[in-house]
Amino acid sequence: MPKRKERGAATVTILDVARHAGVSPMTVSRVINGHSYVGEEMRQRVEASVKALRYTPNLAGRSLRSSGSARIGVLYSNPSAAYLNQFMLGVLEQGSQSGSQLLIEKCSGIRSQRAATERLLAAGVDGVILPPPLCDSRSAVEELESAGVPVVAVATGSPMDGVASVRIDDYQGARAMTRYLLELGHRDIGFIKGDPQHTPAALRAAAFFDTMKEAGLAVPPGRIAQGLFTYRSGLAAAEQLLKAPNRPTAIFSSNDDMAAAVVSVAHGLGLHVPEELTVTGFDDTPVATTVWPELTTIHQPVAAMARAAMVLIQDEIRRKRSGRPKAATHQVMKFTLVKRQSSASPATSA
């Protein structure tokens, strides 16, 4: 005697749907997954049953049968808590959806990096995702790839050949922001550079300079400050820029943490943001909506990028298992310019 229905709560399975629609479970499966050719009439019958029974597939069952049950590692360092949270959110979301198992390893410094890599390999990972700044670590990539483990680099400014990557176009992002500031009427714009060790920092700076140049505007050295992507470095950079004899009407910071610092310093100097000073950031991390005024910034879809990285790594794993060559896809995701309260046209009296 089958005991399929012993539980109190009726869990609708693919079999229930099949029975309801008067077809085989296979057909239901095909409809759900949008696979191959299914007769139009059947498709509709199945879809109606799915709806009527409120069926949602059990992912455990699916991933058990499909080869989705990969073991995926995430190796990170230098944790900006906010970024990492968002990133891991995407990774976990996609992971639980596809039934993959995740192994998270943190490292700091080259020695612990090697140890962490070893641990991942020992645990039998099928693929590894590298969020920034490890996405640019040749040593990490090489150690993993030479062990036959595919890698996906996330948010790198310079994707490596043969290594899959997901990123936004940092250059175009910074260009869009600079153009926006120009459109607002700003001509005298300060810029805070990011950590030179991080590849996207250079792209953001280059885009700023190029766009200013195209607009026929010179950027004197006094309008540039070096930052390290930290709030603290942003404080110093802001003071440098704002204590100049005649300050700029806008400051474009290479990330949000530093932009938040600029807002704080401006406030301290009695400058109203955005009436007397426009401040913009980059990344749209949670701090952008925490500070007041909220920051105009370039939204980097961190969670979506993490999800995309999971999809890419799973594809590489599948390819490897079936003996196909690497795809090494370079995926570029869309950024968006988010206008909030920290930006405005310069005061006419400036």
Q: Is 2 a binder of DNA (CB under 7 A)?
A: yes
* CA 265 to each of CA 162, 231, 241, 284, 296: distance values in angstroms, whole numbers, following the listed order: 44, 11, 10, 20, 17
**Minimum CB distance to a second copy smaller for 124 or for 162:** 124
Instruction: Please state, as a whole number, how many other Cβ atoms lie within 10 Å of the Cβ of residue 205.
Output: 22
Min. distance of Cβ 122 from DNA in angstroms? Answer: 17
Q: State yes or no: residue 61 binds DNA (CB under 7 A).
A: yes
Beta strands in 14-168 (DSSP E): 71-76, 101-106, 127-130, 151-154, 164-168
Displacement of CA 295 from its chain's centroid (Å): 19
> Out of 25, 99, 185, 293, which residue is the one contacting DNA (CB under 7 A)?
25
Binding map of DNA across residues 27-56, x = CB under 7 A, - = no contact: x-xx-xx-xxxxx-xxx-------------
Amino acid, res. 98? S
How far is Cα 25 from Cα 154, in angstroms, rounded to an integer?
Answer: 39
At its nearest, how many Å lie between a second copy and the CB of residue 215?
33
Report what 287 binds from DNA, a second copy, none; CB cut-off 5-8 Å by kind. a second copy
Q: Is 20 helix (H, G, I), strand (E, B) or coil?
A: helix
What does the alpha-carbon distance between residue 106 and residue 129 come to, in Å, rounded to a whole number?
Answer: 12
Which of DNA, a second copy, none interacts with 25 (beta carbon under 5 to 8 A by kind)? DNA
Q: Which does 9 bind (CB under 5 to 8 A by kind): DNA, a second copy, none?
A: a second copy
- Three-state DSSP at 299 gives strand
CB-wise, 95 or 190, nearer to a second copy? 95
Q: Which residues bind a second copy (CB under 8 A)?
A: 7-9, 11-12, 54, 56, 58-61, 63-64, 67-69, 71, 80-82, 85-86, 88-89, 92-93, 95-96, 99, 101-102, 122-124, 126, 230-232, 235, 257, 260-261, 263-265, 267-270, 286-287, 289-292, 320-321, 323
Other C-beta atoms lying within 10 Å of the C-beta of residue 250: 27
- Does 85 participate in binding DNA (rule CB under 7 A)? no
Query: Is residue 96 a contact residue for DNA (CB under 7 A)?
Result: no
- For residue 101, the partner it binds in a second copy, DNA, none, with Cβ less than 5 to 8 A by kind, is a second copy
Distance in angstroms (rounded) separating the CA atoms of residues 222 and 191: 10
CA gap 298, 301 in Å, rounded:
10
Partner touching 126 among DNA, a second copy, none, CB below 5 to 8 Å by kind:
a second copy
Residue 64's alpha-carbon distances to 68, 69, 70, 307, in angstroms, are: 7, 6, 10, 20
In the complex, the residues that contact DNA under the rule CB under 7 A are 2-4, 11, 13-15, 23-27, 29-30, 32-33, 35-39, 41-43, 57-58, 60-62, 64-66, 69
